[in-house]
Structure formats: structure tokens, C-alpha cells
Structure 1
Amino acid sequence: MKEIDIDEVRANLFSLVDQAVRGESFLITRDGKPVVKIEAVAGAISRSLPRLGFMAGQFTFPEDFDEIDEQIEKLFYGEK
């Protein structure tokens, strides 16, 4: 189990709470001695989909997606 010094906990509390909710329990230490065990409350462990890439393959972009439309360009920049 991961051990984390209390000073590091003070600096990174929110990310450590997120880790605990994901099921990664840890010990808080003071002067190298374990003093507190942190773990998620039963039922609080997050089972949500990962945010990055969770919609991969669900839709496609047309080949000309990033091409500039002449009519819209004229509206923004006027006639050349």
C-alpha cells in the first residue's frame, strides 16, 4: 500500500481523494510512521467511463471538415 507523508497530503488533497474514490487506498505518515489509512467508503468507488477517448469510433468527420468555405471566408474577410 502506498505511503504518503502528511505534508504531501496537504499539498495534493483533492487528487488523493480522487485516487481513493477510484479504489487506490493509501496510508498517511507522520515522521515516517503510519497514522491514518485512507480508503473509499463502500459503494463510492467510481465505475464511470474514462473521459479520454470514451467516444472513440462513435462518429466520423467528413474528409473536407477543415477546408475553408469560400462563401464564409468572404463574409469574414470581404472580397479579395
Structure 2
Amino acid sequence: MRVVNIHEAKTQLSRLGEQAAGGESFLIAKAGKPMVKVTALDAPATPKRLGFLTGEIDVPEDFDRMGDDVIASMFGHDRQRRANAL
């Protein structure tokens, strides 16, 4: 494994980071003594996409009106009075 002194690591961090992300791990040393191992993370290559639960759950047709009566009563409105006004 490649050993890089701390001064070189500071001046070449961008390049060294790209190499580590590509699978080339390395050690950072100070006065010849290894201090840190730099290696790529085990992160997924592609992020999860929206819609991953398609077909797994059912959303009611009236989901955007659920609880209307409770909300209206909290504000002092009666749904029947409102319907009659229309």
C-alpha cells in the first residue's frame, strides 16, 4: 500500500481522494509513522429512486380530504353550514 507524507497529502488531496475513491487506498504518515488509512466508502453506486414502493401500498382516493370534519371543527366551522352556503 502506498504511503504518502502529510505534506504531500495536503498539497495533493484532491488527486489522492479521487484515487482512493477509485479503489487505490493509501496511508498518510507523519515523520515516517503511519497515521491514517484513506480508503473508499462502501456507498451505493446509485441513490434509491422515488417510487420504490409502487404497488406495495394503497392510498385512498380521498386522502387529501381525510380529517376535514375535525379540522373544520377546530376552526369553528361546520361542514353542513358550509355545504348549505354553496
For residues 3-52 of structure 1, give each alpha carbon's deviation from its aligned partner in whole angstroms, at most 9, with x where no partner exists: 0000000100000000001000000000000000000001368xxxxxxx
Runs (4 or more) in structure 1 with deviation over 3 Å come to none
CA 1:29–1:14: 2 relative to 1, 3 Å: same
Max Rg structure: 2
- 2:38: which partner in 1? 38
| Structure 1, gaps ≥5 residues long | 46-80
Give the secondary structure class of the aligned counterpart of 1:20.
Answer: helix
Q: TM-score normalised to the size of structure 2?
A: 0.49
Tell me the TM-score normalised to structure 1 length. Answer: 0.53
User: What RMSD, in angstroms, separates the aligned Cα atoms of the two structures?
Assistant: 1.5
More helix by share: 2
Which residues of structure 2 form unaligned runs of 5+?
Answer: 46-86
Give the number of aligned pairs: 45
Report what 1:4 is aligned to. 4
1:19 aligns to what SS in structure 2? Answer: helix
Question: Identity over aligned residues, as a percent?
Answer: 42
Kindly indicate whether residue 28 of structure 2 is the aligned counterpart of residue 28 of structure 1: yes
- Distance in 2 (CA, whole Å) between partners of 1:19 and 1:44 is 18
